[in-house]
Amino acid sequence: MKIAVAAALALTVSTPALAAGTLPTTVVPVLYDISVTPNAQAMTFTGSETVQIDVKAATRTITLNAAGLAISSATVDGKPVRHTLDADRQLLTLTLPAVANVGRHTVGFAWSGKINQSAAGLFAIDYTNQDGSKSRMLATQFEAPDARRFAPMWDEPAFKARFRLKAIAPAGQLAFSNMPSMSVAKQSDGTQLYSFAETPVMSSYLLYLGMGDLERKTVMAGKVEIGVITRRGVVDQGDYALAEAKRLLPYYNNYFGQPYPLPKLDMIAGPGSSQFFGAMENWGAIFYFEPELLFDPKRATESGRQRIFTVVAHEMAHQWFGDLVTMQWWDDLWLNEGFASWMENKSAADLNPDWKARASAVAFDREGAMGVDSTAATHPIIRKIETVDQIGEAFDGITYSKGQAVIGMLESTLGADNFRDGIRRYMAKYKYGNTVTDQLWSELSAAAGQPVAEIAHGFTLQGGVPLVTLTAARCVGGSTTATIAQGRFGMDAPSKTPQTWQVPLVVGTLGGGDTRTIVSGASTDVSVKGCGTLLLNKGKGSYTRVMYDQAGHDALVRDYTRLPLEDRLGTLADDYALAAGGYQDLSRFFALMGRVGVDADPLEWSLVSGRLGSLRNIVRGTPLAAPLRARTVAILDPVLKRIGYTQRNGESPLVGNLRESLVDRLGDNGDPEVLRMARTYVGQLATNPTAIPPSIRTPILSTFAGNATPADWELLLKLTQAETNPVAKNRFVSLLGAAEDDALATRALALLKTDTFTAPQKAALLRAVSGGHPDMAFDWAVANRALVEGLLEESNRSSFIVGLGAGSVDPAMPAKINAFAQTLPEASRGAARRVVAGIAVRKAAVERLRPAVQTWLASGQ
Ligand SMILES: [Zn+2]
């Protein structure tokens, strides 16, 4: 699954607690024959199934999963049996009249279920066509444990089986599943019976069914048909994804050493959105929400285009890592998600080298991981998952971003070829099976001829970010000997027990040599050829922060422009974080930033722009806010002038990304030129919906919305109501909540009590209000709790509401969040704890950084 950006750090669920991984293994499914008949108008469906099972030890009870289903009959070997459904534990138990002996048997069920409005089980997506008519698309979302809302199943990843699915679709609609349809039979009432081919052995959470008024377009990649499936009228917007998927399939076939095993690979675009995920890797039938898959050249930015590649690359990597080889249990979810996230950049670096994906990962992805991992609320990558709540919580920034960073570190430590060979061994050995993490380490070790687990365990079995510190360096006889200490880097109170890792580290001297070492104890000496400026974690391949002594840092500032790009980015990011954590003064970051020239790499300016945005939050509401705004404009405006306001022929895609970032940042800081441009463009939208150049459409709209006057906001509301493109409409709805003006935020909240928007749109609007008005949004949600809960997937209610308060600087907020958490079951309070911890970290950073910002602004440098 690819989680939504906004939810990446705050995902949790609060469905009933359930002892997990506890289905008895004495009975295992072999082959499911499932038939379903949806009634989209009534939002219900009926189903029946026959499951061939293997009884491994004689038994009188059979236990599997079901949730939210009304079971009307249950049979074993054709004879009716008694069944009981434990709704809290989502367990369906059959009690047999006599013992079932070891061997092959069949169980059968008939049931009815409901079609959900949000993405769990079988769900509906409602949208408006260009001609104003209404349509309803059906799709399924089964990860983590929601296949059991579709059919009674052994709904745990280790119970792999084959699936044969049949479904009734209305006349004129198309239906799709993991495998191609073998036949479509017209029924007497005009409906169509789709029979899909049998799947390979796979986990239940990967099954898919979708139907609607759809179009499909295909290309061949070798013998595999790749399809893009959309609502009618926009299938050409899938061309970009289709072309990239055609390049990715042979790339992955080669990388994994196993050919993609299904005859087709569809990518289905749903015209809606979820607050919680962007796409799902159902085997052979990947589901995406539209913005993650469809490229609309009239409206999409360059970064939006790159995002499509990223998500497609992620989901396609799962077709092997996750679908062909699956984690044994959710404890090892990171094997799926860390690997797929890492593969986004690996494949981009090889297939789209001008995106500089490795350097970009240093500047952004690595920082995302370390941000979460350096607070007391972090946790190990691998941890015991025992309840459904915890399964949901596992989809977080540690699993995805830290997982990605750790895999990247192991690749750079073992060497890219050794690492790939280890992955090939692992795929060959475990295809169609399930694994635990140590089985991956074994194969990597065997391929590389060196132990992996010793290094890896420090990063996967304990939480936290290492900090390596240069304490002394001396040059003797043409070589530098450096003394390096290590400990934990923490944004809040350091842990009482000292922590260490085995940190693989490349140490280099500028103009000299590189040496590889492993920092293992509290302190290590390392020797490297040359006496030039010393670089620790050269290339920034390892997952660690680095701090220099004063002489070492002075040399880095002096030689900054001569450093490799990854080291410029990584050192800027380390310096900022070290200051926020109280390890060193922010003046070191400013000294380095002063060396970023107007024509520096776009990634450097994107990073600087991001940190200036962070500082704006640090001084918000203080007398420093106005001078910092002016200073930010003075620094960034010349860079924007240099690259231009609109796309130039032949420019690097990274320049496109930087332009978006700069227009956004300058607009946020009230730059009069950007603001004037935003008002002019948006004023033209009523008569020309594509008046804004696509390359700056997103930041122009957010500038307009953030600085909106009451008249601007009225215009935005009119544009929102008139918009027929579902993706553009969703974006407009969120913009209504982005105004900095308090009165306009209040008006946005009032819209939630009208029937102007759909439930997912209202949830997005409320989250947008919380961006600039966290206290107002949180208080409103608590006061209107039933209404807000009605907007959300049941599994996300508690985390969503506490997340609204996350940006608050009001000292009263932590107590308010804790009071709210008291109304939740104990198992659902994790998100509240993380939000409160995050607020404390930010408060401490504010206290540390404000004086340094003041000094910097006063110095005028
Ligand atoms: Zn994923």
The answer, yes or no, to whether residue 20 has pLDDT greater than 60, is no
- Count Cα neighbours of 370 within 13 Å in the Cβ-side half-sphere: 28
Segment among 269-273, 360-364, 509-513 with least mean pLDDT = 269-273
Long-range contacts of residues 15-18, Cβ cutoff 8 Å, at least 24 apart? 15/388, 15/389, 15/392, 15/794, 15/795, 16/87, 16/88, 16/89, 16/90, 16/388, 17/88, 17/387, 17/388, 17/389, 17/825, 17/827, 18/88, 18/89, 18/90, 18/91, 18/387, 18/388
Sign of the Cα torsion 322, 323, 326, 331 reads positive
The answer, yes or no, to whether residue 553 has pLDDT greater than 80, is yes
Q: How does 49-58 read in b/e, with b if 16+ C-beta sit within 10 Å?
A: bbbebebeee
Residue 758 has what DSSP assignment? Answer: -
How close is the Cα of 654 to the center of ligand 1, in Å? 25
How close is the Cα of 169 to the center of ligand 1, in Å? 29
Angle at CA of residue 697, ends 693 and 699, nearest 5°: 135
* Residue 414, token pair as written in the block: 């073992």
Other C-beta atoms within 10 Å of 847: how many?
A: 11
How close is the Cα of 57 to the center of ligand 1, in Å? 36
The answer, yes or no, to whether residue 820 has pLDDT greater than 80, is yes
More confidently predicted of 1 and 226: 226
How close is the Cα of 455 to the center of ligand 1, in Å? 25
315 is catalytic: yes
State the average pLDDT for the chain. 93
Q: d(Cα 90, Cα 16) in Å, to the nearest integer?
A: 9
Task: State percent of the chain over pLDDT 90.
Answer: 82
How close is the Cα of 22 to the center of ligand 1, in Å? 24
pLDDT for position 193: 98
**Nearest residue to 573 via CA among 618, 607, 547:** 607
pLDDT band at 645 (very low <50, low <70, confident <90, very high): very high
How close is the Cα of 314 to the center of ligand 1, in Å? 6
DSSP 21-48: S-S-TTEEEEEEEEEEEEETTTTEEEEE
Q: d(Cα 30, Cα 432) in Å, to the nearest integer?
A: 13
Task: Say if residues 519 and 468 touch (Cβ distance below 8 Å).
Answer: yes
How close is the Cα of 1 to the center of ligand 1, in Å? 3
Pairing of the two strands 434-435 and 326-327: parallel
Residue 433 has what DSSP assignment? Answer: S
How close is the Cα of 854 to the center of ligand 1, in Å? 43
The answer, yes or no, to whether residue 772 has pLDDT greater than 80, is yes
Q: How does 35-45 read in b/e, with b if 16+ C-beta sit within 10 Å?
A: bbbbebeebeb
How close is the Cα of 280 to the center of ligand 1, in Å? 7
> Which residues 6+ apart lie within 8 Å of 815 measured at CB?
none
Can you tell me the mean pLDDT for 89-100? 95
Can you tell me the mean pLDDT for 557-568? 98
> Which residues 6+ apart lie within 8 Å of 634 measured at CB?
none
Q: How many residues does the chain have?
A: 861
pLDDT tens per residue, range 228-253: 999 999 999 999 999 999 999 999 99
Can you tell me the mean pLDDT for 80-102? 95
Query: Is 200 exposed, middle or buried, given 0-12, 13-18 or 19+ CB atoms closer than 10 A?
Result: middle
Can you tell me the mean pLDDT for 748-776? 93
Q: d(Cα 226, Cα 221) in Å, to the nearest integer?
A: 7
pLDDT tens per residue, range 612-639: 999 998 998 899 999 999 999 999 999 9
Report residues near ion ligand 1: CB below 5 Å. Answer: 1, 337, 340
User: Which residue has tokens 């970010």?
Assistant: 465
Segment among 226-240, 327-341, 390-404, 799-813 with least mean pLDDT = 390-404
Can you tell me the mean pLDDT for 515-542? 95
pLDDT tens per residue, range 463-491: 999 999 999 999 999 999 999 999 999 98
Sheet containing strand 134-141, edge to edge, reads: 121-128, 134-141, 209-212, 174-177
- φ, ψ of residue 577 in degrees (nearest 5): -65, -40
Segment among 129-133, 539-543, 754-758 with least mean pLDDT = 129-133
How close is the Cα of 592 to the center of ligand 1, in Å? 36
CA of 94: how far to CAs of 71, 76, 98, 152, 854, in Å?
Answer: 12, 9, 12, 12, 70
Can you tell me the mean pLDDT for 85-94? 94
pLDDT tens per residue, range 659-711: 999 999 999 999 999 999 999 999 999 899 889 999 999 999 999 999 999 99
Q: d(Cα 207, Cα 205) in Å, to the nearest integer?
A: 6
Other C-beta atoms within 10 Å of 93: how many?
A: 16
Active-site annotation holder among 281, 315, 393, 723: 315
pLDDT band at 393 (very low <50, low <70, confident <90, very high): confident
How close is the Cα of 330 to the center of ligand 1, in Å? 13
Task: State percent of the chain over pLDDT 70.
Answer: 97
The answer, yes or no, to whether residue 427 has pLDDT greater than 90, is yes
> Which residues 6+ apart lie within 8 Å of 851 measured at CB?
none
How close is the Cα of 634 to the center of ligand 1, in Å? 40
The distance from CA 357 to its chain's CA centroid, rounded to whole angstroms, is: 17
Torsion over CA of 654, 656, 661 and 665, rounded to 10 degrees? 140
CA of 161: how far to CAs of 145, 153, 329, 456, in Å?
Answer: 16, 10, 16, 32
pLDDT for position 495: 59
How close is the Cα of 157 to the center of ligand 1, in Å? 15
How close is the Cα of 391 to the center of ligand 1, in Å? 14
Task: Say if residues 606 and 658 touch (Cβ distance below 8 Å).
Answer: yes
Task: Say if residues 422 and 52 touch (Cβ distance below 8 Å).
Answer: no
First to last CA, the chain: 46
How close is the Cα of 656 to the center of ligand 1, in Å? 27
Q: d(Cα 482, Cα 478) in Å, to the nearest integer?
A: 13
How close is the Cα of 331 to the center of ligand 1, in Å? 15
pLDDT for position 129: 86
How close is the Cα of 3 to the center of ligand 1, in Å? 7
Q: d(Cα 107, Cα 96) in Å, to the nearest integer?
A: 11
pLDDT band at 272 (very low <50, low <70, confident <90, very high): confident
Q: d(Cα 751, Cα 414) in Å, to the nearest integer?
A: 55
Provide the 3-class DSSP secondary structure of residue 189.
coil
Q: Which amino acid is at 741?
A: D
pLDDT band at 5 (very low <50, low <70, confident <90, very high): low
How close is the Cα of 343 to the center of ligand 1, in Å? 10
User: Which residue has tokens 């029979």?
Assistant: 195
pLDDT tens per residue, range 347-381: 999 999 999 999 999 999 999 999 989 988 888 99
Q: d(Cα 617, Cα 668) in Å, to the nearest integer?
A: 11
Per DSSP, helices labelled H in 48-111 are none
pLDDT for position 620: 84
The distance from CA 382 to its chain's CA centroid, rounded to whole angstroms, is: 18
**What's the 3-state SS for 502-562?**
CEEEEEEECCCCEEEEEECCCEEEEEEECCCCEEECHHHCCCCEEECCHHHHHHHHHCHHH
> Which residues 6+ apart lie within 8 Å of 508 measured at CB?
514, 515, 528, 534, 535, 538
